[in-house]
């Protein structure tokens, strides 16, 4: 099944967000159907902030390592494209395609001086159309998942703004739409009912369960950087237990419990 076809199933695609080789190997071992990088997690690993502080060459190196160690369909978060001009963004996408990447997330917001702001919807749609045209000319088949930050940035009347942007981006050639922080069932259904594009929602504390999301018409569920943050919390707890006990016993007790649970 192609990556695009994974977005047409009755059951939503649960995309495992990864940031390095061990995380992708675990995702593959557990039977996930597809993986996607988390730009925030990768930035954190490199000691940087999300918002294109990571150099594109650094991202390429990480993606190359991930692709080498996995046979799963791979989508890459390219933030705002790591370039200004559509042709440069398209060239970046083409470089990722050469590594085996089959999908990308691209945002309709930019980060400047630590502040994230929405790009004008029509300007972004025009840029998206130009990117899509160049990829078509280069015979690169890439699933373009447009991340719209209407809910993330808490704009006034986010549903209305999201519907407007959804229509523009669909016409410009988007293959999917991603709305981080969208969690209200009424808003989710309002969006899925008026667009033919698969809708992607992301893990947030208020998000309903996967079966409810399926019934609301959601086609893709992603994890963002929350799994990475949970892993760091577990690391902190393990190190705290070691220092508190003055021994490594708590560490090996956890391992034994994990092993017993898999007997």
Residue 42 · residue 54 · CB < 8 Å: yes
DSSP 3-state assignment of 2?
A: coil
Residue 135 · residue 90 · CB < 8 Å: yes
Token readout for 91 is 């060239």
Question: Could you read off the pLDDT of 100-120 as tens digits, one per residue?
Answer: 999 999 999 999 988 999 999
Token readout for 143 is 């699933």
C-alpha radius of gyration, the chain, whole number: 19
Give me the percent of the chain exceeding a pLDDT of 70: 96
Instruction: Please give the Cα distance from 13 to 135 (Å, whole number).
Output: 25
Give me the percent of the chain exceeding a pLDDT of 90: 93
Give the CATH fold of the 5-224 domain.
TIM Barrel (3.20.20)
Instruction: Please give the Cα distance from 177 to 171 (Å, whole number).
Output: 12
User: Residue 248's CB: how many other CB atoms inside 10 A?
Assistant: 11
Question: Could you read off the pLDDT of 24-56 as tens digits, one per residue?
Answer: 999 999 999 999 999 999 999 999 999 999 999
Question: Could you read off the pLDDT of 127-172 as tens digits, one per residue?
Answer: 999 999 999 999 999 999 999 999 999 999 999 999 999 999 999 9
* Domain spans, the chain: 5-224, 226-263
- DSSP conformational letter for 128: H
Residue 25 · residue 53 · CB < 8 Å: no
Instruction: Please give the Cα distance from 24 to 136 (Å, whole number).
Output: 29
For the chain, give the number of residues. Answer: 263
Instruction: Please give the Cα distance from 136 to 102 (Å, whole number).
Output: 14
């Amino acid at each position: 099944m192609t990556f695009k076809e994974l977005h047409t199933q009755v059951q939503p695609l649960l995309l495992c967000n990864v940031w390095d080789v061990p995380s992708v190997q675990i995702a593959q071992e557990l039977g996930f159907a597809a993986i996607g990088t988390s730009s925030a997690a990768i930035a954190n690993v490199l000691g940087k902030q999300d918002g294109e502080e990571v150099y594109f060459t650094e991202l390429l190196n990480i993606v190359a390592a991930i692709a080498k160690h996995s046979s799963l369909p791979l989508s890459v978060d390219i933030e705002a494209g790591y370039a200004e001009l559509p042709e440069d963004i398209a060239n970046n996408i083409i470089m990722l395609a050469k590594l085996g990447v089959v999908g990308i997330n691209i945002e309709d917001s930019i980060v400047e001086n630590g502040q994230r702001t929405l790009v004008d919807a029509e300007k972004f749609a025009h840029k998206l159309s130009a990117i899509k045209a160049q990829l078509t000319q280069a015979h690169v088949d890439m699933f373009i998942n447009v991340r719209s930050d209407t809910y993330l940035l808490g704009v006034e009347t986010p549903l209305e703004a999201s519907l407007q942007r959804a229509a523009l981006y669909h016409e410009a050639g988007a293959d999917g739409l991603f709305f981080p922080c969208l969690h209200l069932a009424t808003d989710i259904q309002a969006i899925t009912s008026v667009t033919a594009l698969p809708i992607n929602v992301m893990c947030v504390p208020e998000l309903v369960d996967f079966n409810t999301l399926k019934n609301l018409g959601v086609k893709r569920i992603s994890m963002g950087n929350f799994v990475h943050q949970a892993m760091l919390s577990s690391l902190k707890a393990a190190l705290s237990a070691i220092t508190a006990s003055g021994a490594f016993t708590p560490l090996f007790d956890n391992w034994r419990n994990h092993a017993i649970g898999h007997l």
